[in-house]
Amino acid sequence: MPVPEFLFPAGGKLGTSLNVTVGGKLEPLPVGVWTDHAGLVFKATTNSGVFSASIGADVPPGPHLVRFYNADGAAEPRIFVVGTREEIIEVEPNDDFRKAQRLDKSTVVINGRLEKAGDVDSFAITAEQGKWIVAAVDCYGLGSSVDPVLQLLDERGVRVAFNHDTHNLDALIAWPVPRTGTYVVQVLGFAHPPASDVSAKGNAAYVYRLTVTTGPFARTAFPAGVKRGTKSPVTLQGWNLDKATATQTVDATLAPAADQLLFRPAAPTGDLLWLGLGDATEIVEVEPNDTPTNAQPVAFPATLNGRIGRPGDVDRFAFTAKKNERFNFRVRAAELHSPLAARLRVEDTNGVSLVQQEGGDGSDPKLGWNAPADGTFVVAISDMYGNGSPEHFYRIEHVAPPPHFTATIPTHAFFVENGKTNEIKVTVTRNEGFKEKLVLSVKGLPDGVTAKIPEISDKVGEVKLELLASAEAKAASVPIEIILSAPEVRPPLSRAASFSLRGTDTRGDKLINDGRVAWLTVANKPAPPPPPKKKK
């Protein structure tokens, strides 16, 4: 079956067509291509791994999944990004900052590769005083086995800004321009997982997409989430944004109960936003609220949105409780790509801590607490290391999501021979007390293949779904969805089982972390010839 190692370029502009080289093993030919949107079409142009990619105007901006398959099976989906900015291809040689590739636009996405050991790709941009130069690279997030580094040089070659990691291994630089001039953005990379030596590495599969701009760039939004079932305004947070580009309405009217995150492109720029989904009233922090005496009064249930806006900042919210009343607080910060390492605690009105939990290392704290008496108490949040900035945003959720269910499968693709069976393990989880009847089904099975559906008990856990291919089943290679449904709920609920795309050695989020369209390959094995007749 196909084993694609990379796509280059790993994306393109909305409404355009381009050639995409697929590295790795594609034999035996021919190779088919599935994408997660009908408007994104890949067609083979040669037998050497070059495909023509057409990006229709109706394709949503952002990351998409592309899967290559043949009669032997299907490869794990790879990520292809549909952008809204102008795009170019990196041109070598550009290792020396004095021979950097010139960028003639204020905003551009560069599709490049770190192809050789020690490779450094350099790009020169002219920037005006008062603007911000923003450089953001997608590399690890695309699935490349590389840990990228970004640095910014002035016209003398002096490094003025540097970044290695953000919410994952990919880097971002935002730097205020002190004087008009030419500056050079450089990208290089280390092997991931790490090699025995610390040096810049290179490989044809070290593919990246580098956005360089002195124009609007949206890093996130505030509030960093919205209420499920609503259309809510948010303010984009980033650089070079003005009033005309900073406000966006986020539509969460159709968000299912099982989803705790919402992914939306920023309307004016196309940058991908990671937003939280809540189920209670959204409240925004009001400063000053640093001390127990000026803690902001709130009433639960609610979702609290705020920022640890400066080093040493503490945000406090006062609430009333009855004796033995249960409160379950959950912070969402690192999960939404905030740099906040959150410390969450409940205090009395004198500032004495009653209970505390901490996050850090990419995790967010959860805190369960029973009120010891009737009275007023304070929930307080701060950074574990005393850090703070406008980017240190958070959400404190008090109410749990509504009852819901999920299903997961252990891999992205399955195989069955005609006349035989294959078993698929499906893990079913009931969340927040969901008790209604659940049933499984399989969508997209080819002719000659049926599914033996197990009953799902009231308990959670693993069930085994069996695929049966008849002796007459023809060879096929098709997308399938394993659907978990609650038919007696009104309106009926259903959800496709998901599989992970994160891999085993994860260092943060990929641009897409899981998939819901699996694959089935049916092998048509001819019946063995009858044994020869015995001679009389």
User: Cα–Cα distances in Å, from 501 out to 9, 78, 208, 405, 411?
Assistant: 20, 9, 18, 20, 9
> Which domains, ranges and CATH numbers included, belong to the chain?
3-83 (2.60.40.10), 90-215 (2.60.120.380), 219-278 (no CATH), 282-397 (2.60.120.380), 404-523 (2.60.40.10)
At 143 the pLDDT is: 94
Contact 345, 354 (CB under 8 A): yes
At 536 the pLDDT is: 57
* pLDDT interval class at 196 (50, 70, 90): confident
Contact 440, 484 (CB under 8 A): yes
Q: pLDDT digits over 465-489, tens only? A: 999 999 999 999 999 999 999 999 9
Q: Which of 192-201, 467-476, 503-512 has the highest mean pLDDT?
A: 467-476
**Residue 195 reports pLDDT greater than 80:** no
* pLDDT interval class at 340 (50, 70, 90): very high
Beta bridge partners of 380: 316, 345
Mean residue pLDDT of the chain comes to: 94
Mean pLDDT of 197-207: 88
At 415 the pLDDT is: 96
Cβ contacts of residue 152 below 8 Å, gap of 6+?
Answer: 133, 135, 159, 160, 161, 162, 173, 175, 183, 184, 185, 186
At 101 the pLDDT is: 98
**Residue 288 reports pLDDT greater than 70:** yes
Chain position carrying tokens 């409780």:
321
d(CA 124, CA 156): 12
Contact 192, 164 (CB under 8 A): no
What would the two tokens of residue 188 be? 């290089």
User: Cα–Cα distances in Å, from 176 out to 130, 166, 310, 521?
Assistant: 6, 19, 19, 53
At 47 the pLDDT is: 74
**Residue 532 reports pLDDT greater than 90:** no
Q: Supply the pTM of this predicted model.
A: 0.93
**Residue 529 reports pLDDT greater than 90:** no
* pLDDT interval class at 89 (50, 70, 90): very high
- Burial annotation 291-310 (CB, 10 A radius, 16+ → b, else e): ebeebbebebebbbbbbbee
What would the two tokens of residue 329 be? 């607080």
Phi first, then psi: what are they for 506, rounded to 5°? -90, 135
* Closest-CA residue to 234 (of 223, 242, 219, 243): 223
* pLDDT interval class at 527 (50, 70, 90): low
Mean pLDDT of 76-101: 96
Amino acid 339 reads P
Q: pLDDT digits over 379-408, tens only? A: 999 999 999 999 999 999 997 788 999 999
Q: pLDDT digits over 411-434, tens only? A: 999 999 999 999 999 999 999 889
Mean pLDDT of 499-506: 88
Contact 467, 416 (CB under 8 A): yes
Q: pLDDT digits over 43-63, tens only? A: 998 777 999 999 999 999 999
At 223 the pLDDT is: 97
* 3-state SS, residue 30: coil
d(CA 240, CA 214): 7
Cβ contacts of residue 269 below 8 Å, gap of 6+?
Answer: 84, 85, 216, 217, 218, 236, 238, 245
